[in-house]
Structure 1
């Protein structure tokens, strides 16, 4: 029997727990959540959902899927929790959810992991001063040198992209960095590793036999021949030329302000942006709530939602579980591809 997907419920004061409960209330689930069972029961009662929790341990078989029932691997909260009110004492709890999911994937008790949003500030306040985000934490937990963060709209999750107005995949050369640190982080060796991982995993998980990747420049107008910055001339272009000589299909470096238009995106399988807010605002405008976050380059499958903890919505029952549903469906398809 195939091991189940595991879903971390994320920041307990955010919308993650109720997104998981909403999906379980609406459909028969063949996956297991990780979180505090009493917190989940309290949240279900608060938002008016009738969901039965079934507490299991890693390795236990799942029951026959049935709507209104949620299998859970229990992890206890470290402190009381109220929707919308974060508590730094629960920062370690959120990391325990991730650690259990990673261990289960590596041990074969889970086939993939899907993550609900966490609150980076809470985890830092809990004493993890160097915590940057899910992507970097999972990289270090799995002991790999480089991972790639990629978001994709739901219509671009499988195979070749056909309609760029609705379908878009955007990967990042750097992830959660202050803007002032981005230029120094664009290094030839790292950029080359990112492009190799992106191309390989587009082939592996998305059935793209010969990935065509468009690469953004770092500077306005892609540096305008060195007048607006020399990173394109000294770093990005030499890397692209070296990889092209090996047969990779790479375009760029291209100005980001015109790259994200249908004419330039035609036939492109993914865009590599140089930093977080260069590429992700465009993708989220194209498909916010209908997209998933994928971490490429890990020895396990990890997908996630395309949004944050939405503390203002927590406990209201008004949050939209669509992105979590997309992330779960994508993880299941990736498991099938493997």
Structure 2
């Protein structure tokens, strides 16, 4: 870093590679930044009118600065033109109108020019670092991240995620859930936004997606695509319901999510500080159950459909998984 800031052009390749690794910035972005900084330094020293080109040599790891002038029969502007005699010294075959470059001595740029270039480099590197962080987290939107609570700002939790900070707003915190500075915080990436201060990662512990991702972590069948999460609803801190289905008739989706002796679902409940999760078969399985009831108890189903209506019957049988006899007892029930 110091080599770059002090404008030492030698061994620049090693410095670029090191910064690229440490900061996660694309090396091509760093090279472009250095080239722009050297152009700025050259123009600061010799004026904005000069034609400057900066070239980075991948093989030697050096950056060279060239000033280009047009070969002219009569030189009227020495900053932009050179005589035919000067041109022939650089290229014996040059002709009038050709543009020829001469290598500039970067040491001659001076302290002020070097300082200006340094500021350009630092600012560009900050911008590149912010862009790299944004790209990292925008691709992780909808995933779970772990961090350490750094501070509390007007109720919002500021979480250190490593590369950047995440904000867990009061509105996305579970009621009665408390954290202390230094606590581990596990949350769902709700939103990633670009800001003048850098990327803003908004976290949530109340979003239904947090519940779904927790089950994906605990249940291998979900990550393997055998069990599919159809949807989830939450009353954060109190209760939740998640609908699951299976593409394999031999695998019970609810049983897979519950785990041996409830181990999988208990891990989720523990992370949610006791929030009870109710698992139910997804719509495809519910439809299959309804068809099964229809074939086995067609007459009874028709009577109940006439009594309470088809939609209420389907709702009670599938969403609450109630058998026909229970539906019959609740036939006078009306939703509030």
TM-score range, shorter chain: under 0.3
Larger radius of gyration: 2
Q: Which structure carries more relative contact order (alpha carbon 8 Å, separation 6+)?
A: 1
> Which is strand-richer, 1 or 2?
2
Q: Which has the higher helix share?
A: 2
